[in-house]
Homo-oligomer: A and B are copies of this chain.
Amino acid sequence: MGPGPVNADPRVLRAMSAGLVGQYDPAMTGYMNETMALYRGVFRTDNEATLLVDGTSRAGIEAAIVSLVAPGDRVLVPIFGRFGHLLAEIATRAGADVHTIETEWGTVFAPEQIEEAVARVQPKLLAVVHGDTSTTLAQPLDALGAIAARHGALFYTDVTASLGGNRFEADEWGVDAATAGLQKCLGGPSGSAPITLSDAAVARIAERSSVEAGIRVEDDLVLADPIRSNYFDLGQILEYWGPRRLNHHTEATSMLYAARECARLLVEEGMDAAVERHRIHGGAMVAGVAGLGLSIFGDQRYRMHNVVGVEIPGEVDGERVRSALLHDFAIEIGTSFGPLHGRIWRIGTMGVNARRDAVLATLAALEQVLRAEGAPVVAGGGVGAALDWYDGEGAE
């Protein structure tokens, strides 16, 4: 019940034990095409360029940034938590001219603040985290695509922490590139990064993508300033996933099976239903921790459905509580980074854990552990408040 990675859906685990097939076996290329189609449903997009990067969610972020940004390009990163710093760091290492604006952890930006910065910086890329797990908040994105477009920038967002548990509309919101991971609301293991790219993003990438030496044919251009990474050259990766099937890396077959099964689970359930399920059980967890007498961190208007920040009461040792939950109840909750370290726990309700029994069992265990640690708790207050929520605002 941490902020992710979380335990995977059993169907996803089972999918990974399927036998492997060859890289260009028609069955394998069929699975690749099917996975592309499924993730169009998950990202809510018609983008042809919807595929997987073979690595963890951070590999997807680096692939997007290093492929979209040439050295010297201006990039604007609004930072409202740890993962905004990560986007800025990756863009800096890619040689970009990185500009940032920051807001206090626990808050998000108004669209006007972002537009003012875009107008001032005139970036080629606006890069924003959707849900920043470090603070539990999600930056509203619906206005940002239009802002970027007005100023000639591409709009990239990482939705690893939010996708599947919170509304996301790649096409409707004018998103040019979005990256994700499996280990949060998608209910799978870390290690595969779904990505979607608009036609404008693909065109930007094509300017700097080049076919590698060793498999290049005569018509393929050799560029003086190619994308700085071979592994993350999305142009080459697109040629591998596209009809040319140009050899690049060897697709991570078992992780593709996992990613495909994660998407099938969500598409079968329906994206709206999945988001609503996360709203219901995330809301029950919030009601429950409040019912125990604990305070919730951050501007609640912008909280992700799938994770809540809980202020650690002054009289308890946060790490002892986490340790007791893990060892006595086999329940993991999260610690925090940076300015929130030692100040809040992060409790997740995502993927297969966005479930009534997982919420109630966590609240019951937390009550026992807090009492043993000498914190004042309302007896039965957590589970009771969650049950009230399920009967009221959280009724299905």
Contact = CB atoms under 8 A, between A and B. Distances in A.
Copies of this protein in the complex = 2
Interface in A58-112: 58-59, 62, 66, 82-86, 88-90, 93-95
A58 B232 CA distance: 10
A179 interface: no
Given A214-B338, A338-B215, A230 B89 contact: yes
A193 to B, nearest CB: 10
B25 A213 contact: no
Given A20-B7, A213-B88, A249-B56, A25 B191 contact: no
Given A337-B247, A338-B214, A189 B252 contact: yes
A58 to B, nearest CB: 5
Among A17, A82, A90, the most chain B Cβ lie within 10 Å of the Cβ of: A17
A17 B16 CA distance: 6
Given A59-B55, A82-B215, A249-B56, A332 B230 contact: no
Contacts of A253: 5, 189-191
A220 to B, nearest CB: 13
Contacts of A189: 20, 252-255
A350 B278 CA distance: 45
B56 A93 contact: no
Interface string A26-58: 000000000000000000000000000011111
A326 B6 CA distance: 39
Interface in A202-232: 212-215, 226-232
B89 A22 contact: no
B226 A93 contact: yes
A63 B89 CA distance: 17
Task: Pick the most buried of A88, A190, A215, A226: most chain B CB atoms within 10 A of its CB.
Answer: A190
A8 interface: yes
A291 B85 CA distance: 63
B62 A214 contact: no
A12 to B, nearest CB: 9
A150 interface: no
Contacts of A230: 58, 62, 86, 89-90, 93
B250 A190 contact: yes
Nearest to A4: B250
Contacts of A367: none
Nearest to A57: B250
Nearest to A62: B231
Q: Which are the 8 A-B pairs with shortest beta-carbon distances?
A: A191-B252, A85-B214, A17-B17, A189-B254, A190-B250, A82-B214, A16-B16, A55-B55
